Structure 1
Amino acid sequence: MGFSLRESLKFIKIVIPKKEKQITEIIRSLENGDSFSNSVRLFLKEDIYYQILIAEKHGELADSLKTLGVYLNKKHEHRTKLIQLLEYPVILLLFLIVLMLGMKIYIFPELNMWNTATRVHLIKPSTLIILLIWGGISGSVVIFIKKFLQRPVVKRVEIICRIPIVGKVYQNYCHYYLSLNLAMLLKSGLGIKSICTMLTQFSSTSLLYQIGRTLEKQLLQGGQTRLFINRYPFIPPELNVLLNKGNTTEVLGQELDMFSKIKYQKLTNQIEKLIGLIQPLMFLFIGVVIVFMYLSLLLPMYHSMEGVYK
């Protein structure tokens, strides 16, 4: 709207007093000569920081901030909607947990006194087997998470993209994120090799650095970008078609910009569908818990009645 960067930050500090401390630190950093991206780095996730860094270096800061604002606002709406959907099932689940504890403390001991053959509160061989299975599963999960965190970021992202349902959503986010950043770089006039060189200047833990470094190495060895794109699920395969059309870098950047908007719309639709599935799945889980509660109560009573009739 014509405000300078410093005036905009001062205005935000007035409008959002809760963020006054952070905004003051950003303004102080800018006054000390730091770039905007470095000034806000401590308050942002890595992927968002690099998007602002790329935009700042190539004169797309205002448009990039606007795009990020829309994305983060939509993300906040999805989070709020998810919390609202989970409120009732979570309350119901807590009520069931309290009910199960009450049954364990008060009802099962009475059933045990009524039927000495039914040892509800004692540890049975089947209980030990279940505990061992749960222990094995929990241990496997912990080991998997530990090994997963030790892998390079590219491998981690690749694994997440292959997870059923959730992986597709994350894959679309990667497609949107990479195509948007690539669009900004191409519109600024950079070629593929120049982009790779620039990406290798980022933090070695970032996804963009890993992609740039791997692609640069492959190009130096005479490899093709087509093989590189097909190698990873988090890189949109449509890039092969767009890159081989023979357009100038500026036109290609515009096409990728439009492509990123299409991917963003698809990502939003996927998230909304996924959120819509969560509540029915929660109710299904609660229904299964209720069935098992009834069985744990009725089966001992059935065995007791069976003993009386005999």
Structure 2
Amino acid sequence: MSLFRYSGLATKVRAMSGKLLKDEDFDQIGSLDSVPAVIAWLKRKPSYAQILGKEDENSLHRGQAEGLIMQSLLSDFRKLYRFSNLEQRAFLDGYFRRFEINCLKMLIRSLVSGRDTLSDLSEYEEIFSRHSAFPLGQAAAAQTMEGLISALQMTPYGNVLRRVSQSSSRRLFDYEFALDMFLFRNQWKRAKKDLKKEDRETILQSVGTQIDVLNLQWIYRAKKYYNMEATEIYAIIIPVHYRLKKEEVRAMAEAGSVPELMAAAARTKYGKYLEKESQPDLEKIGTQIEEAIHRTMLGRNPYSAACLDVYLYQKEREVHKVITAMECVRYGLPSDKIREYLS
């Protein structure tokens, strides 16, 4: 049944996957000497040609360039949406929350720092108007956090941000953590409630792994950089346990040092990823875990929502790496250092 429902879409995704950038492409980007050169190079790639083709790379400012590159992800989302049936579109509608929250985080960073947003959000208005009730124009026009919350009062994000603004801790981390908590709890509930069995198991694996990775990384940062107590750490953990058992989370949160934390992490289901590194870094290993799980998902269930979830994950990673590489080129970093940042 799933083969019948997904055969056409899986074929479409395979064709689009063939246009994703390879490691050697990023090596070429890292060897370029300016941002205009990066844009000119991207113009020759099928997945960016339509977005960037008519642009003058020498006159684009940083925010415009990043906004256009992000548009390639949204453009691919739109292609998949047009090709999907009603059931598959229901999954994509839930996935679009990621884009809403990414834009919202950019706006919050701008308000907290007092600087303009790096990306030009006006580039996203068309697709947001088609796929979302998120008031992007009103939100982008907000000059204060109160104004942003007011613009979002008819969305679930208004209450999420209001609770943070009325609390005793109103750092950027607090706002972003609250949004991540909302996103992953929402996606976990939607997957359990709205998806059919084959899709539900696959998407729960994806979302569950991302939750586990975030919890691992937040515990690691809390111990390494802030020396937080266990009671403080429990407050920043997403209360969903996929492969990380409650007692394993407790052992890591209550560890007396970073080496003790890493020893506890090595005893979890994710310990095999730590064994591969002489000096394991949970920041980088988190990406390795997510990439391995997504490869497994697609291999086991190619005719399911996995084909959508995995492609969008890969494209999102690609866009992030392109923007990171472009920023490294802008600062004149050597190619080997850029490769290190992208690994």
Q: What is the TM-score normalised by the length of structure 2? A: 0.28
- Bigger Rg, which one: 1
Q: What is the TM-score normalised by the length of structure 1? A: 0.31
User: Which protein has the bigger helix share?
Assistant: 1
**Relative contact order, higher structure (CA 8 A, sep 6+):** 2
